[in-house]
Amino acid sequence: MKKVALVTGGSAGIGLAIVEGFIEEGYAVYNADRQEGPKGHWLACDVTDATALQHAVKTLMENEGQLDALVCNAGIHFSSTIENTEEADLDRVLDINVKGAYHAIRACLPVMKVAEKGSIVLLGSDQCTVAKPNSFAYNLSKHAIASMAKTTAIDYAKYNIRANAVCAGTTETPLYHNAINAYCARSGADKEEIHKEEGKLQPLGRIAQPEEIAHLVVFLASDKASFITGSLHAADGGYTAQ
């Protein structure tokens, strides 16, 4: 029987690579995103809207009758210290990065509990475990994602529902380029030089490509990872091992 996956924020970057990875493995894939992506079945959805996610899951179940995997990928980046982070900025980061995952998991758990199976993969970051400069709100949100993976794993193991987080390192995505462009606009730095410096910060000497993160996500969602739950999995080129 074909398996079914729901990916939030699957229209670009790592999310799109995850959608493509699931499709390669034969899954029916649904992409809950505000904008339509090139792959998978698009469900127009803002993850900050709990009702919209509930409706997305309802539509998926009407079409497929099952849900095997949820990937909470939708997120935004924000660079600033705590002093320079306005409350509205903090609310926006937490609403999308943390409450977006919260809404998605709450929408999917009832279906998975009935089936007594399911895998939830949350997209974390190297900042699930370490800090970086000018990253107060984003770092806070990724530590919350790590916590959500662990607590969900413990609470729902009795239903054979697994939850894990992928702690992705710096990855070349539209989000990455937007962040670099914003930094260069503020500082006057050369983008190519900044890009090279980002690569040098990683022990492997380069930043990740989206599909390298997606491979780990698809594995954790699969039956090959059936005894893995409550874990944080680094895919960061060795950054946090330093």
Residue 236 confidence (pLDDT): 98
Residue 3 confidence (pLDDT): 98
| pLDDT tens column, 174-208 | 989 988 998 899 899 999 999 999 999 999 999 99
How would DSSP label each residue in 182-232?
HHHHHH---HHHHHHHHHHTSTTSSPBPHHHHHHHHHHHHSGGGTT--S-E
- Catalytic residue, candidates 27, 30, 102, 138: 138
- Whether the per-residue pLDDT at 1 is higher than 90: the answer is no
How much is the average pLDDT of 9-35?
Answer: 98
Q: Which of 193-214 are b and which e, b meaning 16 or more Cβ less than 10 Å from the residue's Cβ?
A: ebeeebeeebeeeebbebbbbb
Rounded percentage of the chain residues whose pLDDT exceeds 70: 100
Pick 4-170+209-232's CATH classification: 3.40.50.720, 3.50.50.60, 3.20.20.70, 3.90.1200.10.
Answer: 3.40.50.720
The residue extents of the domains of the chain are 4-170+209-232, 172-207
Q: Rounded to whole angstroms, how far apart are CA atoms 165 and 120?
A: 8
Q: In what order do the strands lie in the sheet with 118-123?
A: 41-44, 28-33, 4-8, 69-72, 118-123, 161-168, 232-235
| pLDDT tens column, 102-141 | 999 999 999 999 999 999 999 999 999 999 999 999 999 9
pTM: 0.96
User: Is 159 labeled as catalytic in the residue annotation?
Assistant: no
Q: Using alpha carbons only, what angle is made at residue 204 by residues 203 and 205, rounded to the nearest 5 degrees?
A: 90
Q: What is the DSSP letter of 94?
A: I
